[in-house]
Structure 1
Amino acid sequence: MPPGNGKPRRPRIDPAQEIHDHFAQPFPGARHVSLPTIHEIETLLREVAAAELLPRFNRVGHDVKADGSLLTEADLAVDRALHEVLTTRWPEIGFLSEEMPKHQQEGLLAETGRSLWVLDPVDGTSNFVAGIPYFAISIALVQDGRPVLGVTLDPVRDECFSAARGQGAFLNGEPLCCRAPAIDLAHAVALVDFKRLAPALKTRLMEAAPFGSQRNFGSCALEWCWIAAGRGHVYLHGGMKLWDIAPGSLILGEAGGLSSTLNGEAVFVPRMETRSVIMAPAQALFDAWSGWLRQA
């Protein structure tokens, strides 16, 4: 599908320099820290994908984790490679990965004054295992309890989505802006993950769907970005984790899109809990979609 970029909201900029300037402040309680730029993180993810991820596509087996999700050699290889580089270049920043034991993840989140990388080394592992070319490496930098930098790389399509708080969103370095689709909810294409929804809501969606048609692609990280790029009109997921939400919520928000939980709360919280997610690229669609979902 072609990128869904809108018109730039600001003159062309050098994202790397602007993000460096924006974040060139010391972390609380720390001496001056050399902070990452979007360009540095994009380059790192591309290098790791080329070395550790793509060569293993369609070539590795898998294990099943305690929660029933899949784990491959590729997840672990990407995790190791990024951990080594990120903790060496930016030792003051903590490193939290999906592949860590839960007690380590909770310990890192308890260090409230510390900035933190939040990584999903392979989002869409089930697709990766099945040979479906729809998966991503996704990472966010969380500072003062909120994402301030997010990068999601689709290595198959060579598309890198990125954002920094207050600086806009980008697709391969070009400004990415949500556009209001010339369509109403009744004709919208909805990206819906039924697996984690409450049974009553599943039944409503199947028996009286308010949208035109439905898809589920299997990578939360990329689905955030695809809604931002106009590749789908509304979205629903019943239970994302911290690493599913952190990069994508920033990218969609900086592109001008909207998101919330089913209860109307902010989607990102710096805690180890699952969160429902509603999203849309424009206010009218978001209001119609969220209004329907919240009906008793």
Structure 2
Amino acid sequence: MPTHPFTDNQAWLGLLKQIRQLGQQEIQQRFQQVSATHKQDGSLLTEADTATQAAVKTYLAKHWPQFAFLGEESDHTSQQAALESASGCWVLDPVDGTTNFAHGIDVYALSLALVIEGQVVAGLVYDPARDELFHARLGLGAFCNERPLTSETNSITQLNRAVGVIDFKRLPKPMASALATEPPYASQRSFGSVALDWCWIAAGRGEVYLHGSQSLWDYVAGWLILNEAGGRSATLNGETVFTPSLIKRSAVAATSPSLMALWQTHLNSINQ
């Protein structure tokens, strides 16, 4: 396991406290008070995105200057350089769920992870609207605020009783059509924040998950949190979701290994 500052509990608690403060200050205080513009890829950008990234980057550089910084709102060249840093890098999505944020829907989050030597060693996702801070360190479990997250607390073991968190937009059309017309789960939701999707599955607010294309900053912190909570995930091709790369990844996940096996079996049956 790579060495990092957050094996020390005080350093970790200090980071969590500061991210909570910045989330309230830079994101929540701007909710329903800012307008949005469109980026080149058509996605939305608000003052909260740019201000939060700047504030978090400044804080991290002051306290842990040894790590490079990769933010969603950084340019591609600097993102790639940060990933290639020998010392490791922070990966930040300042406001995951900007479309929700810009439309007055209170489902959005700040997502931050630390990647060292190709491993995600720490991750946190802060939901400022609910003041919920999901966090995990490699090998040390996952939490929502102070409450441990574990798949053992979820009693749903059958796919036909599960709630599916499904993003249809980016799925292969035949798969999306099959799931929409013959759903194998009891009910379906789509919330518009990838980072919170992962965390809410980890917390048992849904049992199975599917998304066709996620950027590194969308999923990396939530991926660690779900893993540390005892959940399971893979791409549609059965590969590990996390890779230290800017290439987008699909995601299949579930609250437990047994439910993951059932979910993958069903998806494979309609993906042939």
Sort the TM-score into its range (normalised by shorter chain): over 0.9
Which residue does 2:21 correspond to in 1? 47
**Aligned-residue RMSD, C-alpha:** 1.7
Q: Determine helix, strand or coil for the equivalent of 1:246.
A: helix
Q: Determine helix, strand or coil for the equivalent of 1:294.
A: helix
Query: What is the TM-score of this pair, normalised by structure 1?
Result: 0.86
- 1:121-160 alignment, distance < 5 Å: 121-160=94-133
Structure 2 counterpart of 1:216, which letter? Answer: S
- Deviates further, 213-222 or 174-183: 174-183
Which residue does 2:188 correspond to in 1? 214
Deviations 1:72-108 (A, max 9, x none): 0000010010011101111111110000111111122
Q: Report if aligned partners of 1:20, 1:37 keep a CA contact under 8 Å in 2.
A: no
Which residue does 1:31 correspond to in 2? none
| Alpha-carbon distance in structure 1 between the residues aligned to 2:158 and 2:176 | 21
Deviations 1:213-240 (A, max 9, x none): 1100111111111111110110000001
Q: 1:187 to 1:84 in 2, by over 3 A?
A: same
How many residue pairs match? The answer is 267
CA shift for structure 1 position 50: 2.0
* Structure 1: runs of 5 or more not aligned: 1-18, 25-34
Q: 1:181 to 1:233 in 2, by over 3 A?
A: same
Which residue does 1:61 correspond to in 2? 35
* Structure 2: runs of 5 or more not aligned: none
| Alpha-carbon distance in structure 2 between the residues aligned to 1:185 and 1:63 | 40
| Alpha-carbon distance in structure 2 between the residues aligned to 1:195 and 1:121 | 23
Q: Report if aligned partners of 1:97, 1:119 keep a CA contact under 8 Å in 2.
A: yes
Structure 2 counterpart of 1:67, which letter? Answer: D
Q: Report if aligned partners of 2:202, 2:231 keep a CA contact under 8 Å in 1.
A: yes
| Alpha-carbon distance in structure 2 between the residues aligned to 1:62 and 1:23 | 39
| Alpha-carbon distance in structure 2 between the residues aligned to 1:153 and 1:174 | 14
Which residue does 1:246 correspond to in 2? 220
Alignment counterpart, residue 292 of structure 1, candidates 260, 263, 266: 266
CA shift for structure 1 position 183: 4.4
Q: Determine helix, strand or coil for the equivalent of 1:68.
A: coil
Which residue does 2:250 correspond to in 1? 276
- Identity, in percent, stands at 45
- 1:64-213 alignment, distance < 5 Å: 64-111=38-85, 113-179=86-152, 180-213=154-187
Deviations 1:93-143 (A, max 9, x none): 1110000111111122223x2210000000110110010111101100101
- Deviates further, 133-142 or 165-174: 165-174
Q: Determine helix, strand or coil for the equivalent of 2:41.
A: coil
Moved over 3 A (4+): 19-24
